[in-house]
């Protein structure tokens, strides 16, 4: 089964053709931009009527505009929706609550292909007689998300499979979608004119192109299965190479519940699940030199009977260079030693912080580091459910972010890895887990 997707059983009213031509997708972006502009005008007029002086950011980041963005990107799917998912998840606790709820729809909502469109895609990949390979193929997807939708099927020899089928036009539209999202960000004024995001856009295009190559994902899934053979707490699906193409991924179907279903489980069960996922991230970073960098919660399923975690969706797997891993070791060593200056220097060396930000906001950055050091070095398990310190980090972080001259784009490798680490922390917070992270980290710093 694949985790780029969500459980979608019981909903049969969401079949909708995916816009796959460049012109059709450009038209969708045009309508999105027009709708957001109209929403900004209305919000600006409302604020003026109340005697306020409206700011561009306030007029742009309204619930109405967030709803427009979520709906349109859900329809587009592909790279456009994937970028929206990344923004909504990476923002984490930093988005206002009302906007966070709306943008979370991008992680949980997608229309699936109409049956006729699905038939054309599978006929192109497997040939017109593809149905003869199966004793049963459920045309209703059990999951649908940004790049593909997943169907359950049974082969003639009785194997139960999950089949991920890529939406038409996804691969061909990646470059245009990324460029269009970048234009929206520029036109909106959310990005400073002088901020160079070209290297990041190039990396995003490459990453998304890799995620759209299902043969590559199948190879990564097999590789992770071998690397994790000694970790019985997790299970990785087995690839069916005979049915896998660059646009169709076939694997054995593995039962499992959404990881979020553990929210109401006993504390020990939640702690164990979070500990397993954190242990996996540490091995990816410091042992494998290979990390699955998409932290979407749907990429994890939980088996109630065995307590194992099913790992899904390996399209975002990428190498971790030894210099990057060493930068993380240096940062963690400094943090666990409680050395604020060393943490600051290590963060700059790793690319987390820009020199301009340190020079212009030294006091606020030191305050942020002090909060992190205090939380890192508490005795006993770290309580991920206690989010009081996040508000303090948000206040100082947003104050620094207001100074656009201090904006800095970290190296792409660091961004993707940190995205996985931050997403893991968000999942542990969702589970209100308590884990002795310090004890888990120390062996990797020797």
Catalytic residue check, 240: no
> 31 pLDDT exceeds 70?
no
- Token representation of residue 367: 């305050």
End position of a domain, from candidates 209, 238, 267: 209
Name the domain count of the chain.
2
In terms of C-beta distances under 8 Å and separation of at least 24 residues, what long-range contacts does 199-202 make, across chains too?
A: 199/409, 199/412, 200/409, 200/412, 200/415
What are the backbone dihedrals phi and psi of residue 153, each rounded to the nearest 5 degrees, phi first?
Answer: -150, 155
End position of a domain, from candidates 222, 254, 286: 254
Higher-pLDDT residue of 67 and 134 is 134
Band (pLDDT 50/70/90 cuts) for residue 395 is confident
What are the backbone dihedrals phi and psi of residue 168, each rounded to the nearest 5 degrees, phi first?
Answer: -65, 140
- Token representation of residue 341: 């200056």
Measure the CA–CA gap between 354 and 130, rounded to whole angstroms. 54
Same domain, 47 and 134: no
Same domain, 44 and 128: no
Same domain, 142 and 193: no
* 204 found inside a domain: yes
* 89 found inside a domain: yes
**Options 177, 294, 313, 413, the catalytic residue:** 294
Highest mean pLDDT among 95-104, 240-249, 385-394, 399-408: 240-249
Q: Is 208 left (phi over 0), alpha (psi -120 to 50) or beta?
A: alpha
What are the backbone dihedrals phi and psi of residue 42, each rounded to the nearest 5 degrees, phi first?
Answer: -65, -40
Close Cβ partners of 39 (under 8 Å, ≥ 6 residues apart): 59, 62, 64, 65, 68
Query: For position 15, what pLDDT does the model report?
Result: 53
> 184 pLDDT exceeds 80?
no
- Domain range for 31 is 22-112+169-209
Same domain, 123 and 243: yes
* pTM (two decimals): 0.79
CATH number of the domain residue 228 falls in: 3.30.200
Query: For position 393, what pLDDT does the model report?
Result: 83
Q: What is the 3-state secondary structure (H, E, C) of the chain?
A: CCCCCCECCCCCCCECCCCCCHHHHHHHHHHHHHHHHHHHHHHHHHHHHCCCCCCHHHHHCCHHHHHHHHHHHHHHCHHHHHHHHHHHHHHHHHCCHHHHHHHCHHHHCCCECCHHHHHHHHHHHHCCCHHHHEEEECCCCCEECCCEEEEEEEECCCCEEEEEEECCCHHHHHHHHHHHHHHHHHHHCCCCCCCCCHHHHHHHHHHHHHHCCHHHHHHHHHHHHHHCCCCCCEECCCECHHHCCCCEEEEECCCCEEHHHHHHCCHHHHHHHHHHHHHHHHHHHHHHCEEECCCCHHHEEECCCCCCEEECCCCCEEECCHHHHHHHHHHHHHHHCCCHHHHHHHHHHHCCCCHHHHHHCHHHHHHHHHHHHHHHCCCCCEECCCCHHHHHHHHHHHHHHCCHHHCCCCCHHHHHHHHHHHHHHHHHHHCCCEECHHHHHHHHHC
Q: Strand pairing partners for 137?
A: 153
Same domain, 27 and 133: no
Band (pLDDT 50/70/90 cuts) for residue 144 is confident
End position of a domain, from candidates 199, 228, 254: 254
Band (pLDDT 50/70/90 cuts) for residue 8 is very low
* 438 found inside a domain: no
Query: For position 311, what pLDDT does the model report?
Result: 98
* 93 found inside a domain: yes
* 67 found inside a domain: yes
Name the residue with tokens 């890529």: 166
* 302 found inside a domain: no
Percentage of the chain modeled with pLDDT above 70: 72
Query: For position 32, what pLDDT does the model report?
Result: 46
Over the stretch 327-341, which tens digit does the pLDDT of each residue have?
Answer: 999 999 999 999 999
Band (pLDDT 50/70/90 cuts) for residue 391 is confident
* 271 found inside a domain: no
CA torsion through residues 57, 63, 68, 71, sign: positive
Same domain, 27 and 81: yes
Lowest mean pLDDT segment, chosen from 78-87, 141-150, 371-380, 430-439 = 78-87
Name the residue with tokens 């193929």: 137
* 158 found inside a domain: yes
Same domain, 148 and 33: no
Same domain, 246 and 221: yes
Same domain, 130 and 160: yes
Same domain, 98 and 245: no
Same domain, 105 and 120: no
Same domain, 161 and 26: no
Measure the CA–CA gap between 132 and 435, rounded to whole angstroms. 50
CA distances from 437 to 48, 354, 388, 422 (A): 50, 27, 18, 14
Higher-pLDDT residue of 65 and 2 is 65
Higher-pLDDT residue of 28 and 348 is 348
């Amino acid at each position: 089964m694949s985790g780029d997707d969500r459980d979608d059983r019981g909903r049969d009213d969401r079949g909708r053709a995916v816009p796959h031509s460049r012109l059709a997708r450009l038209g969708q972006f045009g309508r999105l931009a027009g709708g957001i502009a109209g929403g900004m005008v209305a919000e600006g007029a409302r604020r003026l009527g109340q005697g306020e002086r409206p700011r561009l950011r306030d007029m742009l980041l309204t619930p109405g505009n967030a709803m427009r963005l979520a709906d349109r990107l859900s329809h587009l799917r592909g790279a456009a929706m994937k970028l929206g998912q990344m923004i909504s998840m990476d923002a984490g606790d930093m988005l206002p609550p009302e906007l966070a709820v709306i943008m979370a729809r991008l992680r949980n909502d997608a229309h699936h292909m109409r049956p006729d469109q699905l038939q054309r895609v599978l006929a192109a990949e497997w040939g017109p007689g593809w149905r003869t390979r199966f004793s049963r193929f459920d045309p209703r997807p059990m999951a649908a998300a940004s790049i593909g939708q997943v169907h359950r099927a049974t082969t003639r020899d009785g194997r139960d499979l999950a089949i991920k089928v890529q939406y038409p036009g996804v691969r061909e539209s990646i470059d245009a979608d990324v460029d269009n999202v970048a234009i929206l960000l520029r036109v909106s004024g959310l990005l400073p004119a002088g901020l160079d995001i070209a290297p990041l856009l190039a990396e995003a295009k490459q990453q998304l192109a890799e995620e759209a190559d299902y043969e590559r994902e199948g190879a990564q899934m097999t590789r992770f299965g071998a690397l994790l053979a000694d970790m019985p707490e997790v299970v990785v699906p087995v690839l069916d190479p005979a049915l896998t193409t660059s646009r169709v991924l076939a694997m054995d179907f593995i039962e499992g519940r959404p990881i979020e279903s553990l929210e109401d489980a006993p504390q020990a069960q939640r702690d164990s699940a979070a500990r397993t996922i954190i242990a996996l991230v540490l091995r990816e970073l410091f042992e494998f030199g290979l990390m699955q960098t998409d932290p979407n919660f749907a990429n994890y399923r939980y088996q109630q009977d065995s307590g194992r975690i099913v790992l899904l969706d390996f399209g975002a797997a990428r190498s971790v260079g030894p210099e990057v891993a060493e930068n993380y070791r240096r940062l963690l060593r400094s943090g666990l030693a409680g050395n604020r200056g060393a943490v600051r220097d290590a963060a700059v060396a790793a690319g987390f912080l820009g020199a301009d930000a340190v020079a212009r906001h030294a006091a606020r950055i030191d305050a942020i580091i002090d909060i992190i050091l205090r939380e890192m070095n508490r005795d006993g398990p770290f309580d991920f459910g206690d989010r009081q310190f996040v508000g303090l980090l948000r206040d100082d972080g947003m104050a620094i972010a207001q100074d656009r001259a201090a904006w800095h784009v970290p190296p792409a490798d660091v961004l993707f890895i940190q995205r996985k680490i931050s997403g893991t922390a968000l999942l542990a917070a969702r589970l209100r887990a308590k884990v002795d992270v310090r004890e888990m980290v120390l062996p990797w710093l020797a």
